A and B are shown apart, each in its own frame.
Chain A
Amino acid sequence: MKLLITTAVTAVIASTVAFAGTTAPGDVAFKDGAVAVSLTGAAGNAADGRAVFADRKLGNCLACHVNSEMPEQSFQGQVGPPLDGAADRWSEAQLRGIVSNSKNTFEGTIMPAFYVDAGFTRPLGKFEGKTILSAQQVEDVVAYLLTLK
């Protein structure tokens, strides 16, 4: 019995530690639409971000944006601006803010907020209380966007 309790306590501590550096969706600090601090406390991985960007069930960014760095992907959308040269136009903090919740940068935009988990009307059950991307995926996409110069 003692062993079981110890194991359980250790597991709780371990999971707390694992997410200690992660900012919860409701705690993200926006300043003029930008988010200065990494959501994970570390830099993202651009290669992983490239995959998240293209994945139709994750970023699905090509639904609305042209990105000529991905010529292998056909039918790139035109709803939003092309992302070519995004890193020349926006800072890392601004890109993190736009991916996390672009409504703080572009009022009334159609663009979904990728790191917001509350305040939606009639969210489909399996997405209720969830963000579209994880903190890690947001950071990975930001790292990828920073390569678009």
Chain B
Amino acid sequence: MGMNLFKTTAAVAALAIMATGAAQAGEDAKLVINGDLSIATQAAAPAHLENLETVYSGWVFRTKETQALEMDDFDNPSFVFVDVALDLYAAVDGTEGKSCASCHENVEDFAGLTTSMPRVNADGALETTTDLINECRTERMGAKAWKYSGTDMSAMLSLVGLQSRGMPVNVAIDGAAAPYWDKGKELYYTRVGQLDMSCSNCHEDNYNVMIRADHLSQGQSNGFPTYRLKNAKMNTIQARFKGCMKNIRAEPFGQGSDEFKALELYVASRGNGLIVETPSVRN
């Protein structure tokens, strides 16, 4: 009897703990998209990460309501922008009379690209997917470059990223990428702005705690571009860097600057092993 009571009490306590976890969404929630695409939202931290044992997708830190929006493509507002990008993909633009589809007939062929971006190109320069798209536009289509984090670009990045959804992030950090990665790492740990904070102060030292009404994530980029409920549009990772810097009263680096590209590589590398969720939904 005594033993039974103990067991019952323990079971109730366990349930209570689980319920608390569920209320905060938490690490145990399972991300399954459209009922059939199961996405792991945590992974063992990559070896280069000295201060974390496990890396978590930002999805883990969102409320159940926000999480649910990403679990069905009909509910996910990002797909409005993916549809816009599909039209852009087929639309002829520029002096050469070409569309994206003229050379890349099936957008599905971009499966895997986002998992390895940014990367170092044949000329030894670090390039983002954004750079690749604008290079196609200006050099092969004879069209104007899109604004770095503008509506067209963030939509196209969402469409291209979607082709890698479900695949693990795996950016290269050694060889030719090493000096860029080192620079990105230095930026990540440098305190900036009047509030004198680094990325790591919030996203490494204090993830999983509340900063006012916001549940701090690890700042992982595996879901970018992400639809934010806050501004009802697709947000690129570099636009998010800019927003973070302004929040801490720091002068942001430019979109497409060497600094932000290096930071994009370093942040992506912190999520090596996480699964691409693009296009995700966040608060």
Give A residues with C-beta under 8 Å from B.
62-64, 74-79, 110, 112-113, 120-125, 127, 130, 132
Contacts A121-B193, A127-B194 hold; do A110 and B201 have CB atoms under 8 A apart? yes
Chain A residues closer than 8 Å to B191, beta-carbon distance: 121
In the complex formed, the residue of B with least CB distance to A109 is B201
B211 touches A79 (CB 8 A): yes
Q: Nearest 9 A-B pairs (CB), nearest first?
A: A75-B213, A127-B194, A110-B201, A112-B195, A78-B209, A122-B251, A63-B212, A124-B249, A78-B210
Q: Return 26 A-B CB contacts under 8 Å, by A number.
A: A63-B211, A64-B212, A75-B210, A75-B212, A76-B210, A77-B209, A77-B212, A79-B206, A79-B209, A79-B216, A110-B201, A110-B205, A112-B197, A120-B192, A120-B196, A121-B190, A121-B191, A123-B193, A123-B194, A123-B250, A124-B193, A124-B194, A124-B246, A127-B193, A127-B194, A132-B194
Chain B residues closer than 8 Å to A127, beta-carbon distance: 193-194, 249
B202 contacts the other chain (CB 8 A): yes
Interface residues on B, range: 20 to 34
Query: How long is the Cα–Cα vector from A79 to B214 in the complex, in angstroms?
Result: 11
Instruction: A112-B196, A127-B193 are known; give 16 further A-B pairs, CB within 8 A.
Output: A64-B211, A76-B212, A77-B210, A77-B211, A78-B209, A79-B210, A110-B205, A112-B195, A120-B192, A120-B194, A121-B190, A121-B191, A123-B193, A124-B249, A125-B251, A132-B194
Query: How long is the Cα–Cα vector from A144 to B58 in the complex, in angstroms?
Result: 37
Query: How long is the Cα–Cα vector from A127 to B195 in the complex, in angstroms?
Result: 10
Give the A-B pair count, Cβ closer than 8 A.
Answer: 66
Chain B residues closer than 8 Å to A123, beta-carbon distance: 193-194, 249-251
Chain B residues closer than 8 Å to A110, beta-carbon distance: 197, 201-202, 205-206
A62 touches B212 (CB 8 A): yes
Shortest distance between the CB of A130 and any CB in chain B (Å)? 7
Query: How long is the Cα–Cα vector from A130 to B190 in the complex, in angstroms?
Result: 20
For B158-188 the 0/1 string (1 means CB < 8 A from A) is: 0000000000000000000000000000000
In the complex formed, the residue of B with least CB distance to A116 is B196
Query: How long is the Cα–Cα vector from A110 to B193 in the complex, in angstroms?
Result: 12
Q: Which of B192, B206, B209, B212 contacts A122 (CB 8 A)?
A: B192
Give B residues with C-beta under 8 Å from A.
190-197, 201-202, 205-206, 209-213, 216, 245-246, 249-251
Residue picked from B192, B245, B249, most chain A C-beta under 10 Å: B249
In the complex formed, the residue of A with least CB distance to B193 is A123
Chain A residues closer than 8 Å to B246, beta-carbon distance: 124
Query: How long is the Cα–Cα vector from A74 to B211 in the complex, in angstroms?
Result: 12
Query: How long is the Cα–Cα vector from A127 to B209 in the complex, in angstroms?
Result: 28
Chain B residues closer than 8 Å to A112, beta-carbon distance: 194-197
Residue picked from A62, A64, A76, A79, most chain B C-beta under 10 Å: A79
Shortest distance between the CB of B37 and any CB in chain A (Å)? 33
Shortest distance between the CB of A116 and any CB in chain B (Å)? 8
Query: How long is the Cα–Cα vector from A113 to B193 in the complex, in angstroms?
Result: 11
Query: How long is the Cα–Cα vector from A64 to B216 in the complex, in angstroms?
Result: 11
Residue picked from A63, A64, A122, most chain B C-beta under 10 Å: A122
Residue picked from B195, B202, B246, most chain A C-beta under 10 Å: B195
B213 touches A121 (CB 8 A): no
Shortest distance between the CB of B70 and any CB in chain A (Å)? 23
Chain A residues closer than 8 Å to B210, beta-carbon distance: 75-79
Chain B residues closer than 8 Å to A122, beta-carbon distance: 192-193, 245, 250-251
Chain A residues closer than 8 Å to B251, beta-carbon distance: 122-125
Shortest distance between the CB of B195 and any CB in chain A (Å)? 4
Chain A residues closer than 8 Å to B216, beta-carbon distance: 79
Chain B residues closer than 8 Å to A64, beta-carbon distance: 211-212
Query: How long is the Cα–Cα vector from A124 to B243 in the complex, in angstroms?
Result: 12
A124 touches B209 (CB 8 A): no
